[in-house]
Amino acid sequence: MPELPEVEVTRLGFADRIAGAQVRAVHLGKPLRWGLGIEPSALVGRQVRSVRRRGKYLLIDLDAGLLLLHLGMSGSLRFAHDLPEAGKHDHFDLVTERGTLRLNDPRRFGAVVYADDEAAPGAIKLLGGLGVEPLGESFDVGEFHAALQRRQAPIKQVLLAGDLVVGVGNIYASEALFASGIRPTLSAARISRPRAARLHEAVRSILARAVERGGSTLRDFSNVDGQGGYFQLEAMVYGRAGQACRVCATPIRQLRQGQRSTFYCPHCQKY
């Protein structure tokens, strides 16, 4: 669920509220994808400075060190003063005097990892290979097109790989390709400059719109206040196999690329 918009909506929901708070306790549930990498008690007394996002990672800056948090496939965060006792899928609590940040993650593909700083090996391993931020100024059309020229793989998988541009997951990759009229199976290297420009714009506008709509809630996602998003209602192709294209009424098709579902309109995406 959590792609860039969901992670950003999550961040926006608690960044300002937790900034300046002192950590009172850290509680762990079942093991996540990776261990925390520090004794939980060692975080007590540290102060939360800010919460940033890099790709699909949340970076919780402390006055000493930082926490790298990933929602995986089924993770979501809550932030509140009066959270109930931890349930079976609650695997990380950061208790502060301003409220408790709680990670709920049924599939446990998510993780919370401590690092002394962003240059620490543990942080480099997770953040080092990431591509540019699609909503930032460093996402340049010319560089994007040039990078696509060097990749022979299908464009859908190049977008998902995240080493070129981050944050585009399965839903938004399908949506961005629809918006730019490109077949998901087309080799990235065969995308012309004008098409790359359309894709570049589509990625930016769709991700920004999804943040505005509170993200997409298909199953597990909710913001830190427990509310779902609405972007899924605006999906043109994702999850719509067999249904009429909202533009041309042609039935939407579904295929598998790299063990993941892809949706597209064979009429609107001919390129």
Partner DNA sequence: AAAAGCCCCTGGATGC
Partner DNA sequence: TGCATCCAGGGGCTTT
Instruction: Report the residue number, 50 or 261, with the smaller CB distance to DNA.
Output: 261
Amino acid identity, position 170: N
Separation CA 240–CA 246 (nearest Å): 10
Among residues 136, 143, 176, the alpha carbon closest in space to that of 160 is found at 176
Separation CA 7–CA 151 (nearest Å): 27
Q: Residue 267, interface with DNA (CB under 7 A)?
A: no
Per-residue interface string for the shown chain with DNA, residues 215-234, x marking contact by CB under 7 A? -xxxxxx-------------
CA 31 to chain centre: 21
Give residues 96-115 in contact with DNA (rule: CB under 7 A).
Answer: 106-109
Instruction: Report the residue number, 58 or 95, with the smaller CB distance to DNA.
Output: 58
Give residues 175-194 in contact with DNA (rule: CB under 7 A).
Answer: 188
Q: Residue 41, interface with DNA (CB under 7 A)?
A: no
| Among positions 138, 258, 266, 267, the unique one binding DNA when judged by CB under 7 A | 258
Instruction: Report the residue number, 96 or 216, with the smaller CB distance to DNA.
Output: 216
| Among positions 56, 91, 198, 200, the unique one binding DNA when judged by CB under 7 A | 56
258 exposure class (CB count in 10 Å sphere: 0-12, 13-18, 19+): exposed
Q: Residue 8, interface with DNA (CB under 7 A)?
A: no
C-beta of residue 39 within 8 angstroms of C-beta of residue 63? no
Indicate if 143 belongs to the active site. no
Number of neighbouring beta carbons within 10 Å of residue 200: 22
Q: Residue 81, interface with DNA (CB under 7 A)?
A: no
Indicate if 246 belongs to the active site. no
Separation CA 152–CA 187 (nearest Å): 5
3-class DSSP state of 116: coil
3-class DSSP state of 209: helix
| Nearest distance from C-beta of residue 127 to DNA, angstroms | 8
Instruction: Output DSSP code: residue 141.
Output: H
Phi, psi (degrees; rounded to nearest 5) at 255 = -145, 170
| Among positions 59, 67, 95, 126, the unique one binding DNA when judged by CB under 7 A | 126
| Among positions 150, 194, 243, 267, the unique one binding DNA when judged by CB under 7 A | 150
- For tokens 């089924």, the residue is 74
Q: Residue 124, interface with DNA (CB under 7 A)?
A: no
By CB under 7 A, how many residues form the interface with DNA? 45
Q: Kindly list the catalytic residues.
A: 2-3, 56, 260
Residues that bind DNA (CB under 7 A): 1-3, 6, 30, 33, 55-57, 70, 72-74, 88-89, 106-109, 125-126, 129, 150-154, 157-158, 160, 162, 169-171, 188, 216-221, 258-261
